[in-house]
Chains A and B, each alone.
Chain A
Amino acid sequence: MNGSRLLLWLTPRHLRDKHGADMEALFLERLAEARERGRAAAWIAWLHAARDVATAYPSEWRRQWRQRGRVGAPAERQSPMIRSDIRYAWRALNHQRFGSAIVAVMLALGIGANVAVFTLINGLFLKPLPFPDADRLVYLNETAPRWNLETTGITYADFAQWHKAQQSFDAIATFNRRSFNVGTDNGADRMDGASVSADFARVLGIEPVIGRMFTAEEDRPRGPNLALIGTSLWRERFGGRTDVLGQTIRLNSRQFTIIGVLPLGADFPGGVRLWIPQQGDPSSVDNYSLEGAGRLKPGVTVTQAAADLLRAHQPIFETRDKERAVSPLVRGLRQHLIGDYDTIVSTLGGAVSLLLVVACANVAAMMLARALTRRREMGIRLAIGASRGRLLRQLLVENLIVSAAGGLVGLAIGNWAIRLLLQSLPDQAPQWASFALDGRMVFFTLGTCTISALLFGWAPALHAMNADLRSAVASDTAGSTPAIRGGRTLRALVTAEFALASLMFVCGGLLVRAYDRVKHVDPGFDPDGVVTFTVSLPSVTYADNKARLSFVERLETRLRELPGVASAGAISCAPISNCHWGVFYHAEGAAPRRADEPNPVVLNRIASPGYFQSMGIRLQRGRFFTGQDGREGTDQPGVMIVNETFAKTLWPDGRDPIGQRVRQGEKAPWLTVVGVVADVKHYGLERDTRPGVYVPLPRIVLSTMSFALKASGDAAALMPAIRTIVRDMDPELPIYNARTMNERLRLSLTLRAAYSWMLAVFAGIALLLALGGSSGVTSYLVSQRKRELGIRVALGARRRDISQAVLKGSIAIIGIGVAIGITGAIGAGRLLSSLLFGVPPYDALILTIAAVSLGASGFLASWLPARRASRVDPMISLRAD
């Protein structure tokens, strides 16, 4: 059944009968137009559809009551009936307090897991971004597949061209995350900010709280030094006073005039506290470092905008970029922000849905067993004139009460779990998303409760409806052995539970194994005892290479003299710290690259001789840098160290890279390779390595440099001493990004660790539920066969025969369930493959563990009731009833 049919089927009968075809067409149209606006919109459309269907019922009931009133039945009699239903249901539940509590707890586990994951889905996909008409916002960048780069960053020249020629946006703007040394009374703080182009506020649809945004006139190269500050900074530093306008703030040792305060919502994409004009130069053609955002004109789709931007980009293809290497990239803003979370959240969503089904199957089995033991009651009530509808309604009320209790506890569990999760992942939770409880979540929980009540309620209800007086009353009193009622349904439910539990078990196992595999990837360096931190030298006080070199070398020497420091070195860009500087290198004697040939970008780093030792990077061939390397001057030929991937990429014929020469462009000086070092996992353990090189420090010193220290003891304990040294050398220099390498590695894996273990926990819960279910069902089946087993014992059957007779059935059920589940898991594993880091979905170890542990625990769960059955005393069991 497809989606619109299902929706139609849920609508009230009188509407459906009359308008069915038209309603289906409208459902189809609404869902299709939402799909066009993206995945998030499609999700929301389904919620709208559900709400639409749900709103039909109150008025439908009113209508029916009115009609009934017209035929004569007094309407007042209806409502006390419902009240008596509730009272009766409550009495029935209270009668079996323990059983009802177990059922509610099972549901609470299932619903809680769903609430937790839905909170994530809600925050990431459904809650509107805090901007007006946020669905018209897009993210802009440039892409260069041939350079092996998904995004290159935007160069201002391209942006200026787009700005001039685009037709499908209300406004487009660039932004560039930067961090500043912000002067204080006694030194400086490091603060994240951004430089943005003039239309930034128009794109986001925000207005300064006080003051103004800068104008296009001021957003020109060599424009005035202006700054806007965020609300939080305004409150902290300036006490929220309006006379902040016109005051100055020192950024990187320069004075900036504050002209406005931006609202909290401007903090985009997160952590940004102040803004300065981009003041980009339209003639800057090769500095790809900006990002962009745009606001689409109403009615324009992302695809149309992308086509429009490509058209606007044409003149650049015709002049500067004849190879057509770099082209514009347009993406929905939310889609961009969600990025990697998409697969993870879908996986978790799938897992919790399965968990809920397992929980419901479990509850269904328990309720069914209970309903069957109550069939005499049902039979008698039917006999004395209760209608089937009345009984059905009473069962439904019972189920709803149970599932409402489960839902309430589940909501609490889910909220608690999500808070715990977010607390343990402070760096991984996206800053733009909010995970607070809202109406949508309450709605979702209510929906989940109702769905589960229907899911677990159908089997008992069906059997209750089949009850008739004769068999219900007779079978218990007559001396014959009754056929076991509901046996087939019960077995099917247990089979399904085991199938789903083993499917989840395998998927959870695969993810945990993938996590383990990632954890054991060789990072290419030795993280133990290494701490790194970063310093940015403002160009006012450190104007040229010489001034910067002198500072870096002095600092390096003083760090090395610290007690407990084994070695120290400087690096432009430390591993796993989210930085990248890409350039292109060309090998001497290599054939000129064809226009359509891939040209992988090379990670360029500046390193001092001490860096390799401090970071523990292994030398494969040649030598490390010495103190003399790199002193020849930037325009002279020099030396470099390359990584293995670089050597393989540039000299695929496998010749010795030592002594080979490369350069960046036609006019650049040649650099001779003196050493080859092991690949370092620069972008994280799960990411591919890019070709990379190290240029000796004295040749070029960047204004932002990091330092790596190898400590003989606890690396983190060195930080206070390091701060003292830096403050002593220059009181206006804050140090930031201070972390041990082990910390960096751990942080880079927390997200994967979190979702892998979450799935493992869900699988564990599913397994527990399945075991509880199978044990309960076996007990019930045994209790139904008590008389038969008693007769067997009386006729001389041994205990072993009895246990075997009981076990045979349940083992077959469990075996079938596990087999189905594992087959399904291999298929599901393929869907997960992007998260599995190369672990095959049919990984033998995991499949074996799953089959053995599920089989064994399933056996145990039915063995206990079987053993109890074998101890049956024929005298007692035959006398029972």
Chain B
Amino acid sequence: MKNREYLILLALADADLHGLGIARAVQELSDGRTRLWPVALYGTLEELTGSGLIEELDDPNRRPAAQSEKKRFYRLTRAGRRALASETDRLAALVKTAKSRLKPRPGGAS
């Protein structure tokens, strides 16, 4: 899974957000390191929708608007939540391995 896909899924884990909200949440989650630009963001959202990991909702607070004006909210699907969990497990395992490898070896440098 690409880094930005993971971050987007993570941003949607506890709230349904619209595009701009996702961009801001991703920036916050990554300590300001990942700034998503529009094509990357909406392109990825389309792909994730296509593969069924997230789904679109209409803005619950507003009347329906024109196609491009409509504010779309996104929600994690059940498949998306599963994918997020398994990716997190994979990363956790990786971190664990990395930490054990980075530990200073007993007996000092060779």
Contact B35 A19 (CB under 8 A): no
B43: chain A residues at CB < 8 Å are 15, 56, 59
Considering only residues 13-55 of chain A, those with a C-beta below 8 Å from chain B are 14-27, 29-30, 48-49, 51-53, 55
Contact B20 A19 (CB under 8 A): no
Q: Is B52 an interface residue (CB 8 A)?
A: no
6 closest A-B pairs by CB: A52-B37, A23-B38, A20-B68, A56-B39, A22-B19, A26-B38
A18: chain B residues at CB < 8 Å are 42, 46, 67-68
A59: chain B residues at CB < 8 Å are 43
Contact A49 B37 (CB under 8 A): yes
Question: Which bracket fits the contact residues of A?
Answer: 20 to 34
Contact B37 A30 (CB under 8 A): yes
Contact B40 A52 (CB under 8 A): yes
B19: chain A residues at CB < 8 Å are 19, 22-23, 26
Q: How many angstroms from the CA of A866 to the CA of B81 in the assembled complex?
A: 77
Q: How many angstroms from the CA of A245 to the CA of B32 in the assembled complex?
A: 40
Q: Is B41 an interface residue (CB 8 A)?
A: yes
Considering only residues 1-32 of chain B, those with a C-beta below 8 Å from chain A are 18-20, 23, 32
Q: List 18 A-B contacts (CB under 8 A).
A: A8-B38, A15-B42, A16-B68, A17-B67, A18-B46, A19-B19, A21-B69, A22-B18, A22-B38, A24-B38, A26-B20, A26-B23, A29-B23, A52-B37, A52-B40, A55-B40, A56-B43, A298-B32
Interface residues of A (CB under 8 A from B): 7-8, 11-12, 14-27, 29-30, 48-49, 51-53, 55-56, 59, 298
Contact A22 B39 (CB under 8 A): no
Which of these, B35, B37, B42, contacts A22 with CB under 8 Å?
B42
B40: chain A residues at CB < 8 Å are 52, 55
Which of these, A14, A17, A27, A298, contacts B38 with CB under 8 Å?
A27
B73 CB, min distance to chain A CBs, angstroms = 11
Contact B37 A48 (CB under 8 A): yes
B35 CB, min distance to chain A CBs, angstroms = 7
A8: chain B residues at CB < 8 Å are 38
B93 CB, min distance to chain A CBs, angstroms = 30
Number of interface residues of B (CB under 8 A): 20
A15: chain B residues at CB < 8 Å are 39, 42-43, 46
Q: How many angstroms from the CA of A29 to the CA of B41 in the assembled complex?
A: 14
Contact A26 B41 (CB under 8 A): yes
Task: List 6 extra interface pairs beyond A18-B46, A22-B19, A26-B23, CB under 8 A.
Answer: A20-B68, A23-B19, A25-B20, A26-B38, A29-B20, A52-B40
A30: chain B residues at CB < 8 Å are 35, 37-38
Contact A26 B37 (CB under 8 A): yes
Which residue of the partner chain B has the closest CB to A25? B20
Q: How many angstroms from the CA of A17 to the CA of B43 in the assembled complex?
A: 12
A17: chain B residues at CB < 8 Å are 67-68
Q: How many angstroms from the CA of A51 to the CA of B72 in the assembled complex?
A: 25
B69: chain A residues at CB < 8 Å are 21
* Chain A interface, >50% SS class: helix
Q: How many angstroms from the CA of A26 to the CA of B72 in the assembled complex?
A: 14
> Known contacts being A25-B20, A26-B19, A29-B20, is A19 close to B37, with CB within 8 Å?
no
A53: chain B residues at CB < 8 Å are 39
A14: chain B residues at CB < 8 Å are 46
Q: How many angstroms from the CA of A259 to the CA of B41 in the assembled complex?
A: 51
Which residue of the partner chain A has the closest CB to B46? A15
Which residue of the partner chain B has the closest CB to A56? B39
Contact B20 A52 (CB under 8 A): no
Q: How many angstroms from the CA of A17 to the CA of B36 in the assembled complex?
A: 20
Q: How many angstroms from the CA of A23 to the CA of B44 in the assembled complex?
A: 13
A7: chain B residues at CB < 8 Å are 38
A12: chain B residues at CB < 8 Å are 39
Q: How many angstroms from the CA of A24 to the CA of B40 in the assembled complex?
A: 13
Contact B39 A11 (CB under 8 A): yes
- B57-97: CB near A (< 8 Å → 1, else 0) gives 00000000001110110000000000000000000000000
B32: chain A residues at CB < 8 Å are 298
A428 CB, min distance to chain B CBs, angstroms = 36
Q: How many angstroms from the CA of A29 to the CA of B32 in the assembled complex?
A: 14
> Known contacts being A30-B37, A55-B40, is A22 close to B46, with CB within 8 Å?
no
Q: How many angstroms from the CA of A271 to the CA of B48 in the assembled complex?
A: 53
Which residue of the partner chain A has the closest CB to B23? A26
Q: How many angstroms from the CA of A59 to the CA of B43 in the assembled complex?
A: 9
B41 CB, min distance to chain A CBs, angstroms = 7
B36: chain A residues at CB < 8 Å are 26
Q: How many angstroms from the CA of A51 to the CA of B37 in the assembled complex?
A: 9
> Known contacts being A19-B19, A22-B20, A25-B20, is A55 close to B68, with CB within 8 Å?
no
Which of these, A16, A22, A48, A55, contacts B71 with CB under 8 Å?
A22
Q: How many angstroms from the CA of A415 to the CA of B102 in the assembled complex?
A: 43
Greatest chain B CB density within 10 A among A14, A26, A30 is at: A26
B82 CB, min distance to chain A CBs, angstroms = 25
Q: How many angstroms from the CA of A17 to the CA of B67 in the assembled complex?
A: 8
Q: How many angstroms from the CA of A19 to the CA of B68 in the assembled complex?
A: 5
A863 CB, min distance to chain B CBs, angstroms = 52
B2 CB, min distance to chain A CBs, angstroms = 12
Q: How many angstroms from the CA of A18 to the CA of B19 in the assembled complex?
A: 12
Q: How many angstroms from the CA of A24 to the CA of B39 in the assembled complex?
A: 10
Q: How many angstroms from the CA of A15 to the CA of B23 in the assembled complex?
A: 16
Which of these, B18, B38, B46, B68, contacts A52 with CB under 8 Å?
B38
B42: chain A residues at CB < 8 Å are 15, 18-19, 22-23
B41: chain A residues at CB < 8 Å are 26
B39: chain A residues at CB < 8 Å are 11-12, 15, 23, 52-53, 55-56
A16: chain B residues at CB < 8 Å are 68
Which of these, B23, B35, B38, B68, contacts A11 with CB under 8 Å?
B38
Q: How many angstroms from the CA of A15 to the CA of B38 in the assembled complex?
A: 10
A507 CB, min distance to chain B CBs, angstroms = 36
Q: How many angstroms from the CA of A22 to the CA of B65 in the assembled complex?
A: 13
A48 CB, min distance to chain B CBs, angstroms = 6
B20: chain A residues at CB < 8 Å are 22, 25-26, 29
A63 CB, min distance to chain B CBs, angstroms = 9
Greatest chain A CB density within 10 A among B35, B38, B41 is at: B38
Q: How many angstroms from the CA of A606 to the CA of B87 in the assembled complex?
A: 74
Greatest chain A CB density within 10 A among B18, B37, B41 is at: B37
